[in-house]
Chains A and B, each alone.
Chain A
Amino acid sequence: MSSVTDQTLDHDSHDHHHAPKGLMRWLLTTNHKDIGTLYLIFAFTMFLVGGAMAMVIRAELFQPGLQLVEPNFFNQMTTVHGLIMVFGAVMPAFTGLANWMIPMMIGAPDMALPRMNNWSFWILPFAFAILLASLFMEGGGPAFGWTFYAPLSTTYSNDSTALFVFAVHIMGISSIMGAINVIVTIVNLRAPGMTWMKLPLFVWTWLITAFLLIAVMPVLAGVVTMVLTDKYFGTSFFDAAGGGDPVMFQHIFWFFGHPEVYIMILPSFGIVSAIIPAFARKPLFGYASMVYATASIAGLSFIVWAHHMFTTGMPLFGELFFMYCTMLIAVPTGVKVFNWVATMWRGAMTFEVPMLFALAFVILFTIGGFSGLMLAITPVDFQYHDTYFVVAHFHYVLVSGAIFSIYAAAYYWLPKWTGYMFDEFLAKAHFWCSLISVNILFFPMHFLGLAGMPRRIPDYALQFADVNQIVSIGGFAFGLSQLIFLAVIVKAARGGEKAEAKPWEGAEGLEWTVPSPAPYHTFETPPVIK
């Protein structure tokens, strides 16, 4: 035991001697906290870029008719907005949180594979530079939707597809490396006594997410490769003329795509399961059931993909199978929501900003879950398919779900990262502005969808004009509200009230045993968990 500790110390002091300054510190860093910070800054930058594209979309849809942008550019905006938000904002934000928090939560000195960690971050900016640069080439960037259905992406796309494929490959490699690192860290570097069923839920949910990532990101890599060879090298995976089948594209894509949506929500469950007990001052209700529920959601996510494709013409048995499997996911998800509510039941609750975001998450994510259940019902899906109802559904689970949980996490751990308490007033302003505007933005979309407004079209019938105007106003308000967050972060990074090691009275976990801000190296000697 002692020899190991010495070894760790040697390794770290080695780092100290050669620590470069300035830009090189960030380029060459192998420190999990530095890399976590890089991921989080990158994710927020991409969130603003993708958000700016959403503003273009909402500005165009403010009035019926074509006002501001060409339809082809509108399509590029919807496509790249989706790609950036999924691969550039939500996923890197979660990886950033994992980098920062997992080693501190399990009492490890760093991530298990620090050099790979550096790589997995630093290839990401290149991927998105390529993707964004493709918008400026002749004919524009990818315009086939983030789902890049064949033949839109094969026969009917321009040469930006090659850049798109290359960018997605790099993003995939980055996520896979991040996931491998998380798994190895959690399996190998838990502090003595940190048994599996003592792991914080954020660690558990990330472990399961990481397994989903290494299972499905390679399938995404495969399907973009097939698109590339179909377009440029004469294969016919998705081309009926050569014996292929465009519907098969959707099967392979959604075999990746459905687990992907759980990749973007399972870490949220972990975050909320850390925050609600802290501010309800009660231990999490049903810890073990939370772990099993997460695992069963992950398992079920592999057998529900065709609910995205009900209208492609499936036999009745297939539609029923995918409908019932999809609805089955509501059971473990319901267990989770029940447990969060039961944790709050008769708790001594206070409503600091992380808790506000966590509570909003529980309510709004549940709304998104319910609209998901509606979409799962095959016969009615034929009406909802490809309408704004779907847009409302996945923005409720991704914006007021995943993004809100990331905000909750950011506010919860910000004192630990910066060493300063954030500006409570500004943070509350951010919360209330976001909460109100996100509902003005996405709730009316349900009605637009039910009334039949199709998604991904730059123009619409006149009867949708009023509601679209409300939605757009909500959109602009939500976009502007996110700048308040930027102000909070900048202010908290510069200074403020000093944060204690444990700034939240009811918080539990190893990360609160180290000082705030967390020292560059933590747990060089592993703590012992009783």
Chain B
Amino acid sequence: MSSNQQVAQPNHGKLAGRLVLVVVAMFGFGFALVPLYDVFCEITGLNGKTNDEAVQVVAIEADLQRQVRVQFMTRNAKGVSWPFESQLSTIQVNPGVMTQVEFIVENPTNKAVVAQAIPSVSPGLGAQYLRKLECFCFNQQPLQPGERKVMPMQFYIAPDMPKEIGTLTLAYTLYDITEHDNNSSAEVAMAK
């Protein structure tokens, strides 16, 4: 045992090499946390993210006994000053009933731009029950100079939403991704 420890000189490189592997693996793990985070949020429905692709239309039974209040908020990201608002600020809906709300965006500048709206729902746990069949946030929105665009959003509230959630707030933040769009369209494709 004791002689083993003393003849260890040549083993330094081996052990150090293994430790370097751990370091490299942990560096990779740091980046692996990014997709893991998304998967975790998707499975658990945390984070207030809504579905980023249209849900399949299935026959669901409307719950006419219950009413849920849905509020709509719009805001512009830093540096964006385009008029962007919802036609309705709040609406009462029955779970299971399809509802359409329109949002209006305008490009007051004299340049063609590309806009991207990012939704967020609070309370976060309610996000998975707000199901969208159609949303302008699924795609990037090119806007010609001076163009005014009416963008529909269709959704229903899943009837199995927990009773304690009486109000859902759906907030859209509008981003200017014109430059993003030129640089890396692949990146934007991910940003539903």
Which A residues form the contact surface with B (CB < 8 A)? 1, 4, 7, 112-113, 116, 155, 176, 179-180, 183-184, 187-193, 214-223, 226, 234-237, 240-243, 245, 247-248, 251-252, 255-256, 313-315, 318, 526, 528
How many chain B residues touch A (CB < 8 A): the figure is 49
Closest to A255 in B: B33
**Bound complex: CA of A198 vs CA of B9, how far in Å?**
22
Looking at B10-18, B53-61, B63-71, B99-107, the stretch in contact with chain A turns out to be: B10-18
Most buried by B among A180, A188, A234: A188
**Prevailing SS type, chain A contact patch:** helix
Contact of A242 among B7, B9, B33, B190 (CB under 8 A): B190
25 sampled A-B residue pairs with Cβ under 8 A: A1-B2, A4-B6, A4-B9, A113-B16, A193-B2, A215-B22, A215-B26, A218-B30, A219-B33, A222-B30, A222-B33, A234-B184, A236-B191, A237-B34, A241-B77, A241-B191, A242-B177, A242-B187, A243-B192, A245-B37, A247-B47, A255-B33, A313-B48, A314-B46, A318-B46
Secondary structure of the B contact surface, majority rule: helix
- Tell me, in angstroms, the Cα distance from A509 to B54 when the chains sit together: 69
CB closest residue in chain A, given B188: A242
* A1-B6, A183-B15, A234-B183 known; A241-B175 Cβ under 8 A: yes
- Given the interface pairs A218-B23, A222-B30, the reply to whether A313 lies near B16 with Cβ below 8 Å is no
Beyond the given pairs A4-B3, A116-B16, 19 more chain A to chain B contacts, judged by CB atoms under 8 angstroms and listed by A's residue number, are A112-B16, A188-B8, A188-B15, A214-B22, A216-B26, A218-B26, A218-B30, A219-B26, A222-B27, A222-B30, A226-B31, A240-B118, A240-B175, A241-B116, A241-B177, A251-B33, A313-B48, A315-B46, A526-B6
CB-CB under 8 A for A187 and B15, given A1-B6, A234-B184, A245-B47: yes
CB of A184 within 8 A of CB of B16, answer yes
CB-nearest residue of chain A to B119: A240
Known: A155-B78, A192-B6, A245-B47. A218 touches B24 (CB 8 A): yes
Q: Which residue of A lies closest to B32 (CB)?
A: A222
Q: Are A1 and B27 in contact (CB under 8 A)?
A: no
Q: B123: nearest residue on chain A (CB-CB)?
A: A313
- Please indicate the chain B residues that have their CB under 8 angstroms from the CB of A226 in the complex: 31, 34
**Given the contacts A183-B19, A243-B190, A189 and B5 also touching, CB distance less than 8 Å:** yes
Top 6 A-B pairs, shortest CB-CB distance: A222-B30, A192-B2, A241-B175, A243-B191, A218-B27, A188-B8
Q: Is B88 an interface residue (CB 8 A)?
A: no
Q: Which residue of B lies closest to A155 (CB)?
A: B78
Residue pair B46, A242 in contact (C-beta under 8 Å): no
Assess whether B19 is in contact with A214, with CB atoms less than 8 Å apart.
Answer: yes
